[in-house]
Amino acid sequence: MNINRQVLTLDEFTIKQMRDFPGATGELSSLLRDIGLAAKRVNVEVNKAGLIDILGDAGSVNIQGEEVKKLDVFANNQFTGVLKHGISCAGIASEELDDIIIFDDEVSNNSKYVCMYDPLDGSANIDVNISIGTIFAVYRRITEKGKPCGLQDFLQKGINMVAAGYIIYGSSTMLVYATRRGVNGFTLDPSIGEFTLSHPDIKCPDKGKIYSVNHGNFFQYDEKVKKYIDRCQKRTKADGGPYTQRYIGSMVADVHRNLIKGGIFMYPAITDKPKGKLRLLYECNPFAFIVEVAGGKATNGKERILDVQPTELHQRSPFFVGSKLMMEELEECMKG
Ligand code: P6P
């Protein structure tokens, strides 16, 4: 390895990006730094989750006499805490909280952004050591600066997003974030405790050979979705052969893999969940933004998902996201 290689940390990268924008206030860089700090703290707990029985299970008191929180609650507290005490965020919405939290102090009320997140998606997979993740979205507030933010700041269309990203707690811990300028991935280097640029300018391949869907729900899918899945399985050698099905029940891991290698991820509506399972604001929209910036596409099966006008904080949506050509093939099937 070239020891002289300048490996940019997340902070160095966001500051470099800011220098390219003379008018930038540094608030977005500061917000991303806050998210990176919370992610490092969550990473420590996630990495020892398997040991938690020794340290006391969630809801009990551990050997230090501290109350051990469920990891999703712990993660939520970490992200909410750093943003509340930062200088860039007027308020948050979280998968873990029924309502928004308006920070309502002088600095926060004068902050430019609001943030919404799923602090620990797929947390049920922790017990079996499968990768899990944090998903976040950042919007410029539309309410008057200087006053507390409000619900309308959070119910914006995904096209208004300023930045979106995720942290994947896997074989390594990565933070990937997108602005309209591009998608960049940072791997946590434990030797210095910093996220370091490892995947500059990520592009989603136009096509891939992976389709990700829960086959257990197959008979609940719409006929048009079944038609597409059928097509994935019956591709001839002339078409490049059948796709491979990969689905680990952890959206961050499934979508991250497909973003890097090419592929399509689907969580369609099913009989039991007619509006789908995944949440529009802090699961579908952030990934739609990231994959679109990287060259892919994302829909709810009928329209571009970033164009959907949210009406509720925790509303669900059917979700299809991935490589451009694979998504276009799906759209062809969905037209009937
Ligand atoms: P199913 C995890 O609970 C999650 O929200 C996503 O991370 C994942 O893609 C999906 O649900 C898995 O749901 O119904 O296939 O188990």
Mutate which of 277, 279, 280 for ligand 1? The one with the most ligand atoms within 8 Å of its CB, which is 277
Q: Whose CA is nearest to atom 16 of ligand 1?
A: 249
Give the ligand 1 atom nearest the CA of 121.
7
| Structural domains of the chain, ranges and CATH numbers in brackets | 10-199 (3.30.540.10), 210-335 (3.40.190.80)
The sign of the dihedral angle between the CA atoms of 311, 312, 317, 319 is positive
Query: What is the per-residue pLDDT for 100?
Result: 98
Kindly report the pTM of this predicted structure. Answer: 0.94
- Site to probe by mutation for ligand 1, drawn from 96, 121, 221 as the one with most ligand atoms within 8 Å of Cβ, is 121
Alpha carbon distance 54, 56 (integer Å): 6
* Mean pLDDT split into 10-residue runs, the chain, 336 residues: 72 88 86 97 86 59 61 93 96 96 96 97 84 97 97 98 97 96 97 96 97 97 96 88 93 98 98 95 98 98 98 97 97 91
- Closest atom of ligand 1 to CA, residue 278: 5
Identity of the amino acid at 273? K
Signed CA dihedral, 217, 267, 308, 313: sign only: positive
Nearest atom (ligand 1) to Cα of 250: 7
Give the pLDDT confidence score for residue 61 in this predicted structure: 61
* E strand intervals along 147-296: 161-169, 173-179, 182-189, 194-199, 210-212, 244-245, 264-267
- Using only the alpha carbons of the chain, give its radius of gyration: 20
Determine whether the shortest distance from the Cβ of 277 to ligand 1 is under 6 A: yes
Q: For residues 133 and 139, what is the distance between their CA atoms, to the nearest angstrom?
A: 20
- Indicate which residue's Cα is closest to atom 6 of ligand 1: 251
What φ, ψ does residue 223 adopt, rounded to 5°? -55, -35
- Give residue 200 CA to ligand 1 midpoint distance, Å: 28
26 in ligand 1 pocket by Cβ < 6 Å?
no
What is residue 182's predicted lDDT score, i.e. its pLDDT? 97
Chain segment 151-204, per-residue pLDDT in tens: 999 999 999 999 999 999 999 999 999 999 999 999 999 999 999 999 999 999
In the prediction, which pLDDT does 57 show?
Answer: 59
pLDDT at 20: 84
First and final C-alpha spacing in the chain: 53
Q: Hey, what are 265's tokens?
A: 């991820």
Whose alpha carbon is nearest atom 1 of ligand 1? Answer: 249
135-146: b or e for each residue (b if 16 or more CB lie within 10 Å)?
A: bbbbbebebeee
